[in-house]
């Protein structure tokens, strides 16, 4: 199964998990959806190293991972209330309705903040051979996205960028005797910068 298809499965399972937890906390189900949660955790673990993913897939995976973490924190709170028992009628209302509405709004706001923080993190990629087109295209996309954020003109076209990376990689490999070159796209003083450094 291709990575994009597996990420679709992961998103579907997370959606199902949220629905089943809502049913459980709403009294429509007698036990928490541990089977579905196990599937979600396994899929998250499978992609945790990010090695096989391109930039767009890694970003999508990180977003799903953060969404799960926020939902999970919310579910843990609800479980505590449910396990301890509702001390007053208002607690029962809070357990079923209040947490679902107010705190999920809060979770959505927090997720937006997390995603924006993830976007601001530098994007790094190692290139050992300038003809590794998939890696170079991901790097080009990251630089283009960063320049859009800063309002700068986008990078030169993909073909000329590939030539540049191939030449720069060969130059640094020759100069430092390194196997690969690590390229980093980062934002500095409102500008997108592409940095290259030798990597053993």
Residue ending a domain, choose from 119, 148, 175: 119
Domain co-membership, 56 together with 153: no
Domain of residue 97, residue span: 3-119
Question: Which pLDDT band holds residue 156 (cuts at 50, 70, 90)?
Answer: low
Residue 114 sits in the same domain as residue 133: no
Tell me how many domains the chain contains. Answer: 2
Instruction: Tell me, yes or no, whether 31 and 81 share the same domain.
Output: yes
Please compute the mean of the pLDDT values over residues 78-97 and round it to a whole number. 58
The three-point CA angle 127-47-57 to 5° equals 60
26-82 pLDDT tens trace:
878 788 889 999 999 999 988 877 777 888 888 888 889 888 998 888 888 888 877
- pLDDT above 60: residue 90: no
Tokens of 167: 């030449």
Q: Pick the last residue of a domain from 99, 119, 139.
A: 119
Task: Give the pLDDT score at 15.
Answer: 92
One-character DSSP codes across 98-148: IIIIIIHHHHHHHHHHHHHHHHHSPEEEEES-TT-HHHHHHHHHHHHHHHH
Residues 99 and 72 in one domain: yes
Same domain, 32 and 60: yes
Same domain, 79 and 24: yes
Predicted confidence (pLDDT) per residue in 101-128, tens digit: 444 555 555 554 444 444 456 677 777 7
């Amino acid at each position: 199964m291709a990575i994009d298809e597996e990420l679709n499965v992961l998103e579907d399972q997370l959606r199902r998990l949220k629905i089943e937890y809502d049913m459980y906390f709403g009294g429509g189900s007698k036990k928490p959806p541990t089977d579905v949660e196990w599937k979600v955790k396994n899929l998250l673990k499978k992609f945790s190293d990010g090695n096989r993913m391109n930039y767009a897939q890694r970003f999508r995976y990180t977003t799903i991972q953060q969404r799960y973490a926020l939902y999970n924190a919310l579910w843990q709170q609800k479980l505590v209330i449910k396990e301890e028992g509702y001390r007053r009628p208002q607690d029962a209302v809070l357990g079923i309705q209040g947490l679902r509405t107010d705190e999920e709004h809060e979770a959505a706001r927090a997720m937006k903040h997390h995603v924006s923080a993830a976007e601001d993190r530098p994007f790094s990629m190692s290139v050992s051979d300038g003809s590794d087109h998939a890696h170079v295209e991901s790097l080009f996309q990251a630089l283009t996205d960063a320049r859009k954020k800063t309002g700068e003109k986008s990078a030169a076209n993909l073909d000329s960028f590939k030539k540049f990376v191939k030449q720069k990689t060969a130059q640094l490999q020759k100069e430092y005797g390194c196997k690969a070159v690590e390229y980093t796209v980062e934002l500095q003083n409102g500008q997108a910068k592409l940095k290259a450094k030798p990597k053993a």
